[in-house]
Amino acid sequence: MNLSLSDEQEFLREAARGALSRFDTIAAAREALEGGELPDLWPTASEAGWAGLLVCEEHGGAGLHPFDAMLVLVECGRVLAPVPLIGHLPASWLLDRGGYADIEAVASGAKRAVLVPAQPPSDLSDLWTWEAEAGKARVPAGDTTQVAHWVVDAPGAEVFVVVGPGGAVSVVEGASVESAARYDATRSLGHVSLVGGTSTRLDVDPADAANAWHLAQTLIAAESVGTVETCLEMAVAYAKERFTFGRAIGSYQAMKHQLVEILRVLENSRSLLYYAGWAGESKPEEFALAASAARSVSGRALDSATRINIAVHGGIGATWEHDGPLFFRRAQLSRRLLGGTGAATDRVAGELLSSAGA
């Protein structure tokens, strides 16, 4: 038994951190709220080989596993880097399995792909569903519905890997995207209209379509873990240097215990990334459970960490110039995308109840 990172994984992580550090992504996140341009990190991602991370080697990819992709996403999350991997990676993985002709262009990053994901059936419903435009219900995937809402990383993608009714997967080129930025300017988001695009059926199993959904869950979970890491570091540093009533505020139990609470949920989230990574590679029958658990715990961690970070900083933490609000904005939107933290939590329960009922 050994959960240490391999040398290659350590290298992947360090390289990601290094590559992203060449941009001031956090300052860009603030400026983008007022219409500033975000840096285009896709050339960096392509160069680093992230675009083909999950594409097999014979198709020009790196042939790596979900856990390796998560390591990159953690680094993106740490600095709010807008790299459209949550859309691209699961899409590339499906394209690779389905024998997509131009897969090498996808693996190299020359063509950017995006998953138009559908939530797979659960113990409560045998429908595949898309995000509704608004409101608590979800809508049946594809067919009559021709617009998929709130698709992560859709703006700027060329190849749309669309999961439709029954988990059928199609490649659509020429779909039109209405950009739909909300609250967190670093989160690329769009409504995808499939009317007018050309659609080709991709030969993959619905089980793969389900795994693409779960893979996206693990990636957004990993990204959240990175953001939580930064919030904890910021808050701890401030708690050591800010004094009140003659003591560093981090010496007060009310502060200390909240900071430890971030650490607790961060450690739990990290453990579940390992679980999801292991299941994704070696235990496919537990991947839905593991990915959903990772999303659930890290999603809640993201919410509480970004709030505690602001509270530890007192009034100043809620001001525009401070970085805390940028992480808070990230959390508020993230937890409501891709089914939201809530759907992932529900799936954890559903998986367990199905097993217990069997």
Q: Which residues bind a copy of itself (CB under 8 A)?
A: 252-254, 257
Q: Which two three-digit tokens encode residue 83?
A: 């790299």
Triad 105, 111, 112: Cα angle to 5°: 130
Total residue count of the chain as it appears in this document: 358
Four-CA torsion 91, 97, 103, 108, nearest 10 degrees: 60
| Binding track over 155-194 against another protein, x by CB under 8 A | -------------------------x-xx-----x-----
Judged by beta carbon, residue 60 or residue 190, the one nearer another protein is 190
Nearer to a copy of itself, 134 or 254 (CB): 254
Q: Strand order of the sheet with strand 176-179?
A: 147-152, 189-193, 176-179
Which string of b and e fits 130-164 if b means at least 16 CB within 10 Å? bbeeeeeebbebbeebebbbbbbbbbebebbbbbb
CB of 101 or CB of 357, closer to another protein:
357
Which neighbouring-strand residues pair with 163?
Answer: 169
Tell me the CA distances in angstroms from 79 to 22, 25, 70, one per residue in order.
11, 6, 15
Among candidate residues 220, 227, 278, the one with its CA nearest the CA of residue 90: 220
* Interacting positions 110-129 with another protein (CB under 8 A): 123-124
317 binds, among a copy of itself, another protein, none (CB under 5 to 8 A by kind): another protein
CB of 256 to a copy of itself, least distance (A): 9
Nearest distance in Å: CB 255, another protein? 7
Query: Stretches 13-21, 103-111, 211-219, 291-299: which one binds another protein (CB under 8 A)?
Result: 291-299
**Out of 7, 37, 135, 285, the residue judged to bind another protein by CB under 8 A:** 135
Which of 50, 150, 160, 213 binds another protein (CB under 8 A)? It is 150
Print the binding letters for residues 247-276 with another protein: x by CB under 8 A, - otherwise. Answer: xx-xxxxxxxx-xxx-xx--xxxxxx-xx-
Q: Which of 292, 302, 305, 330 binds another protein (CB under 8 A)?
A: 292
Select 110 or 260, whichever has its Cβ closest to a copy of itself. Answer: 260
Q: How many residues lie near another protein (CB under 8 A)? A: 98
Smaller CB separation from a copy of itself, 144 or 253? 253
Distance CA 243, CA 199 (A): 61
Q: Which C-beta is closer to another protein: that of 111 or that of 347?
A: 347
Residue where the block lists tokens 């859309």: 87
